Chains A and B, each alone.
Chain A
Amino acid sequence: MQNNTPRFDPNPTVSQVLSGNKDAYRLIVSEYGLLVRGFLAARVYHLADAEDLAQDTFVKAYEKLEDYELGTNFRAWLMSIAQFLLNNHWRKNGNRATVMEKFRHDIAESIQAELKVAHEEVDESRIPKLLDCITKLPDNLRKVIRSGLDGEKISILAKQLNLQANAVYQLRHRAHIALRKCMNQTPSPTRS
């Protein structure tokens, strides 16, 4: 799908930050915040942990900004920090993990390459359209998406919809396909 969205060039902003305008870093956070949070929320079970790791990523990136080589791939550099912190998180929490947490980790390990590809296919310029696309979903799919994603809520939602939990995952699968399509089709808002 063709993407006509003007891309954010982080290099001038990074230069501003490095020359003393720390406030400009907020633009970096704004542009990449959802991408980093989404990356971590996909890989960490508890959302609060994912949010903490996301903050740590931006703090670490800020501290190490001088190490970034201007003109290279800033997103890849930022995500490598997120991945590093994520690995640390897994290592630190590995001993305390329950059997199911370990199983989730095993799943993540076995699909690591595919997860990397899936993440690289996410176009950060199109992420802001996600919420708009959710509002355009049919009622039942929107309800599934908005119900949240933790286990207890899925089971409650399944009861509300008089469905098995697996049927909720089927609906969500359909919703995700629709959302991906919508995000790629909807014209991007003009960057101000």
Chain B
Amino acid sequence: MKNFSHDPDYLDILSAWHGTLNISPKRRKELLDRLGHDQSLRAEVAEEIEMAGLIRAAQSGEPRWLELEEILSSAQESPLSFEDRILGQVSNKPRKPWLALLTRPSFAWLAMAATLVFAFVIPSEKQMPDGVARLLRYEGSDSSVQKDFEFRKGEQFQFNDGLVEVAFQESGVHLIGKGPLQMTVIDHNRLFLNEGEIKLVVPPQGIGFVVDTMERKFVDLGTSFVVQASSLGSRVLVLDGEIAVGERDGKGSRLMTEGGLANFNRNGEVSPHSTRPSGVPEVKKDIQGTKLGTLLGSIIGFPKDAQIPNPAPEDSPISRKLLPLVQSKFSDLTCLNKLKKGNPIRFRGIAGTYDLFPQRTGLVPYSENNGWIAWYQGKVKAPQKGKYRFWGYADNNLLVAVNGEPVFEGSRYDSSFRTETNVPRNNHPSFPCLNARAGFASGPWFESGDTPVQIDLLFGESQGNKTSSLLLIEQEGASYDQTYWGQPKWPLFATEEFSGPEKKALNKLKTHMEEKIMGSFSIPEAELWAVIQ
């Protein structure tokens, strides 16, 4: 029997199968041709793939199949669900024509269900046990919100502005709500969110806590998550741990884990977190010129007629091309030969969308399919002596080096900066950012003292012209404002003050992030780094 373990075709097929190798069209054809006429290779690949699948499944642990579990549990003598209790109560009442709606498995009944809670599920005031949750704090101007308000089962609660903090007494669930908000506390383990945004932190004893919206029910499995509801639909973001998302008709439970973000419209359709930066504003900044005291750079790309060997669909030719520059601590410039340069540019922070950057910086015409990189370099000095670290991400390439050593790599998965440089990197999917599913990345701390440091900053696109990025910096020990769901608003890394129009555009981006994608940042003032000539 032939030993295939040294057969390069066999190994390339396995590499391609498992996603570690991008193969040229010619090579793909060769491999498929070989498979077509070599029965023993086909058998060997099949055995290997079958075994690999079995091992993947065995090692991934027991799955939690909530949909199946719901179906099988329905056969047990389990307590009636919230919906069943509502319907049960309704069916015992003299039926009015409009109540017939509730017998249909549609979304519509739930809208009414929340308002029917009082009438059919919740015992009368006299029979009611003690409250199930207590309002701990309110920051806002709505005078209708009472301090130490105690929520009883079925209590409806609403306010117009500000923040509330609520603790559920038995489950220990902690809720922060942002006004305007309207919700109904069903019991110690469930609430219905009509409108507004809530963040929940669920301790172990609260696992199973349910948030209902018109479109979905969200079941906590030990986590922290944010739910928004409005007349247009609902949205959930998992900050930590795991939740189960069930459809209102009881079908299609799905698990969502840390960093997961999904929208549900009123028709029950799901639109998962976009992988493209659609809608992220482009911040217009003054990037031209070479005036003193600014961090300078240039934009680089392949000439329009460049031939790239072995182009692959998920590849970043420009980051691969510039690897020797990074690996030589920015001393070996030979890799720049034959590349095209645009106009000199000034570093004005990195934030937002850069779809037109090559046009605005004189790189066009260039080989658009092979990407571009802006390389900024110079000596900079920290605003204060101390330890710093970078936060951010890029679609696609982002790398920062201090004194030649990379200290931050925030590129997308297909960048050679990410796959080939081994820069320590932490992903924070609970801090979502624009279109990065991995969330914000952070680098290791580095020292910056009284002596200026050499900084090299590479940022750009791999293929095409959909580019977005954010680069922030944190000083160890400094305190930063936080979004109410707990994300610090680190300042943009910048070396120049922003003008009024630039601040306006950046604030627009910040508002977009906070309202649409739950990220944020701050515009630096005292945190500006000085450029040393």
Contacts and interface: CB of A to CB of B under 8 A. Distances in A.
B72 A130 contact: no
Interface string A99-110: 110011011001
Contacts of A122: 50, 54
B157 interface: no
B99 interface: no
Interface in B48-62: 48-60
Interface of B is mostly: helix
A146 interface: yes
Interface stretch (A1-9, A20-28, A73-81, A184-192): A20-28
Interface stretch (B5-13, B191-199, B382-390): B5-13
A117 B43 contact: yes
Interface of A: 20-23, 25-26, 29, 33-34, 37-43, 45, 47, 50-52, 54-55, 58-59, 62, 98-100, 103-104, 106-107, 110-111, 113-115, 117-119, 122, 127, 130-131, 134, 145-146, 148-152, 154-155, 159, 165-166, 169-170, 172-174, 176, 179-180
B14 interface: yes
Interface size bucket, B side? 35 or more
B32 A110 contact: yes
Contact of A115 (B13, B49, B63): B49
Contact of B42 (A33, A39, A110, A154): A110
B189 to A, nearest CB: 25
A41 B54 contact: yes
A137 B203 CA distance: 39
Contact of B53 (A29, A40, A104, A169): A40
Contacts of B8: 166
Contacts of B46: 111, 114-115, 117-118
Contacts of A98: 313-314
A51 B419 contact: no
A98 B314 CA distance: 8
Contacts of A154: 18, 20
B232 interface: no
Interface stretch (B21-29, B170-178, B281-289, B371-379): B21-29
A150 B19 contact: yes
Nearest to A104: B17
Given A59-B68, A118-B49, 8 more contacts: A38-B54, A100-B314, A104-B16, A111-B35, A111-B42, A134-B55, A152-B413, A170-B6
Contacts of A22: 71-72, 74-75
B512 interface: no
Nearest to A43: B53
Contacts of B254: 52
